[in-house]
Amino acid sequence: MIINKVFKPRSWPISVKLSVTLLLTALLPMIFTAYYNLQGSVTSISETELRNLRQLSVATANRVDQLISDTRFLAKYLGTEKDIITLVSGHDRKVADSVQGKLQRLVFTDNKLELLLVMDKKGNVLSAPADKFIGRNYSYREYFQAAIQGRVYVSNITVGDVTRKPGLFFSSPVLGKSGKVEGVIVVKIAGSAVSNIIDEANTGKQTAYLIDSEGVLIHHPDSGLLYKSLTPLSERSIQKIVKSKRFLLDKIDSLGFDVLADSIVGAKNSGTVNYLSPISGEEEISGYAPVKSHRWVVGISIEQSSFAEPLNKQFNNVLYSVVGVGIIFTIIALLFSRSFIKPIHALMQAANRVRDGDYDDGEIKITSEDEFGELMRTFNLMVASVRERERERDIFGRVVSPEVREKLLMGDVKLGGENRQVSVLFSDIRGFSSMSEKMEPDEVVEFLNEYLTGMTEAVQEWGGYVNNFIGDAIVVIFGAPDSQDEMEFNAVSAALAMRKKLALINLKREQRGEPIVMSGIGISTGDVVAGQVGSLERFLYTVIGDAVNVAARLETLTKEYPDHNILINAETYSGVKEKDSFNFTHIGQQKVKGRTQNVDVYAVKEVE
């Protein structure tokens, strides 16, 4: 319930609405201005960052290009060495030892070099820094086949089948004195030589990587992404890579960087590209530049959100300041609005008291001379008027029954009557006249008030309408002014309730040393005329008919049957004879005063 109110401004207190309005009016312009400046700064920084990414990728690609050019030059230079030419031409052992010493010194002094091979024109290794390579045949290798045809060759990154480490092969033909190709010089540099150059660009949140001509990642700081393609490769390309055992893999998985691949695979010029990373799920930007001496592309990527991170921190600091100011402003606004809202709360509390019927405390103290003061005066006059009307209403309800009062106030009861079937209960105290002669007038009134109050409570629990008090007699109607489905059952049940209530009254009287009270009850069901009887100036709601007379005569008849103090007519018996909670005794046909026809009479007792 509380959560629902929070999200429904219409249910907020006026003080909160006023404070929120003032707060938003003061702070929103500040927030919008800060946000606008943030967006402008983000745009400017983004342009600078894109330029930096592009320049960094170009610089990194140039360094890789320089490494390849230097190593290619080394391979070509070794192919012109006199001892190496002599070795491939004549297989002289002494010359082989001299060449091996040179190769060992080169590998020792340059940590980028992993392997140097001198091969004859059949692909046999004549010299190498390590003896284990001498005598092996590598004629099947692509670098040998290219060089033996007179071309300088640079391989892609290749994972060695012995070392299981990536490397880069360079080969150059060795020409004999006749100018023909007599052998091949092979230089292998460690893949780390290239990786170290790329990794130097991994600063902050930047990620540098290298792809080959087919879009396969040949270097990435995340080893889990190595040797996977940016976009799905053709089956022919996959078979070519697998067959060459370049990466020692049986398949090449795709990462799904389709947008990135479209821009950088085979790129001829540097540039930048925006794309959604399928790995991080974030928007990223990548600067890229081709390696001119090879068909590789260097890429450096960064998340777009990182551009604005410093500014976002600054913007957050502004927001914290705004929040601090907002809290102070809110406190001031609440204190101001409290004086404005206090009279409204007083009116609300007073209105709630009036709604709950507390008219004596309904008026409020007037605390101001402004419009609120005038409203309070009007409210007090209204409360006084309502209090007077409720007092008249209460008095009216005591003169007539509440049921009749409500119908009269709503205009449902008009002068005249209507035919209705009702059950009439008539009750009278035995020997009341002789009892009252021995009592003082105030004692008689006190006794009747106690007795009639108890009897009224008993019948009202069963929906009985107390139509009249005739001295010590009570006339109760069931079925008027409101209709009842089981009026006979309600009337009999009310009579039994009256017996129980009378027993309690007698118990108190015995404790006070007073004589007990006996009464008789007659119940008759039949047709009557119900309505207002009298004149336009004064009238009474009552019922008139044979059923009323029969009920009074049945009550009188109880004096002749001391063991049966509740008697009912046949119509009442028909309505309750199926009820298991009553016992009936058939008294028979009885002659009653004022009626030519006899009345079939039954006595009622409660089942014990």
Domain boundaries, position 275: 195-306
Burial class (CB in 10 A: 0-12, 13-18, 19+), 26: middle
- CB contact burial 469-485 (16+ within 10 A = b; e otherwise): eeebbbbbbbbbbeebe
Instruction: Judge whether 21 lies within some domain.
Output: no
What is the rounded CA–CA span in Å between residue 199 and residue 215? 19
Q: Which residue has the tokens 């930007």?
A: 285
- Which strands form 207-211's sheet, in the order they lie side by side? 217-219, 207-211, 296-303, 283-291, 271-276
The enclosing domain of 427 has a CATH number of 3.30.70.1230
The DSSP bridge partners found for residue 425 are 476, 523
For 385-415, how does the pLDDT look when each residue is reduced to its tens digit (9 = 90+)? 666 666 655 544 444 455 555 555 555 555 4
> Alpha-carbon distance 144 to 183, whole Å?
9
> Quick one: average pLDDT of 108-122?
90
Residues 279 and 428 reside in one and the same domain: no
What per-residue confidence (pLDDT) applies to 311?
A: 57
Quick one: 174 and 239 in the same domain?
Answer: no
d(C-alpha 194, C-alpha 196), whole Å: 6
For residue 115, pLDDT beyond 60: yes
Provide the token pair at 82: 């006199």
Q: Which pLDDT score, from 0 to 100, does residue 59 have?
A: 92
- What band does 477 get if pLDDT is binned at 50, 70 and 90? very high
Q: For the residues 501-525, what does the mean pLDDT come to?
A: 91
Tell me the mean pLDDT in the region 158-179: 85
Q: Name 278's Cβ contacts closer than 8 Å, sequence gap at least 6.
A: 255, 256, 257
Query: For 412, phi and psi rounded to 5 degrees?
Result: -80, -15
Asked whether residue 167 falls in the same domain as residue 210, the answer is no
Q: What is the pLDDT of residues 563-600, one digit of tens each?
A: 899 999 999 999 998 888 899 999 999 988 877 889 99
Q: What is the pLDDT of residue 51?
A: 86
Q: Which two tokens stand for residue 201?
A: 């660009």
> How many degrees, rounded to 5, is the angle at CA 391 between CA 387 and CA 396?
145
Within a domain: 125: yes
442 and 546 within one domain: yes
> Is 369 within a domain?
no
- 470 shares a domain with 570: yes
Longest dimension (CA), the chain: 166
Tokens standing for residue 480: 């008027």
- Nearest by Cα to 568 from 491, 515, 459, 472: 491
* Among candidate residues 230, 232, 188, the one with its CA nearest the CA of residue 209: 230
Residue 373, domain member (yes or no): no
Do 171 and 201 belong to one domain?
no
Phi, psi of 480 (to 5 degrees): -155, 145
pLDDT score of 91 = 67
Q: How far apart, in whole angstroms, are the C-alpha atoms of residue 148 and residue 170?
A: 13
Point out the domain boundary residue: 306, 321, 337.
Answer: 306
Q: Are 526 and 421 in contact (CB under 8 A)?
A: yes
Strand ranges inside 121-236, DSSP E: 125-127, 153-159, 166-175, 181-190, 207-211, 217-219
Buried b (16+ CB within 10 A) or exposed e, 249-266: eeebebbbbebbbebbbe
The residue out of 140, 170, 190 marking a domain boundary is 190
How many domains is the chain partitioned into structurally? Answer: 3
Indicate whether 181 belongs to any domain. yes
* φ and ψ of 130, to 5 deg: -115, 140
Confidence bin at 328 (pLDDT 50/70/90): confident
Is the same domain home to 129 and 237? no
User: Average per-residue pLDDT in the chain?
Assistant: 81
SS3 state at 33:
helix
209 and 132 within one domain: no
pLDDT digits (tens, 9 = 90+) for 269-309: 999 988 898 888 888 899 999 998 888 999 999 887 776 66
Q: Kindly state whether residue 58 falls inside one of the protein's structural domains.
A: no
Between strands 566-569 and 166-175, the pairing is unpaired
Say if residue 562 is in the same domain as residue 423.
yes
Asked if the structure places residue 327 within a domain, the reply is no
Q: How far apart are CA 413 and CA 407, in angstroms?
A: 6
Q: Tell me if 603 sits within 8 A of 584, measured CB to CB.
A: yes
Q: Which of 510, 497, 490, 488 is nearest to 602 (CA)?
A: 488
Least confident of 96-105, 149-158, 394-403, 468-477: 394-403
Identify whether residues 597 and 462 lie together within a single domain.
Answer: yes
List the end-to-end C-alpha distance of the chain, in Å, as a whole number: 52
- Name which of 113-117, 160-164, 573-577 the model is least confident about: 160-164
Looking at residue 47, what is its pLDDT? 74
Whether residue 451 is predicted with pLDDT greater than 70 in this model: the reply is yes
Would you say residue 35 has pLDDT above 70?
Answer: no
Q: In this predicted structure, what is the pLDDT of residue 398?
A: 47
pLDDT top residue among 327 and 63: 63
109 in the same domain as 91: yes
Judgement on whether residues 474 and 524 belong to the same structural domain of the protein: yes
CA distance 56 to 507: 109
Q: Is residue 444 part of a domain?
A: yes
Identify the residue with better confidence: 528 or 378: 528
- CATH number of the structural domain spanning residue 185: 3.30.450.20
3-state secondary structure of 429: strand
| Omega cis (within 30) before 481 | yes
77 or 331, higher pLDDT: 77
Query: The whole model's pTM is what?
Result: 0.49
Of the three residues 190, 223, 255, the one that is the final residue of a domain is 190
For 22-31, 46-55, 585-594, which range has the lowest pLDDT when averaged over its residues? 22-31
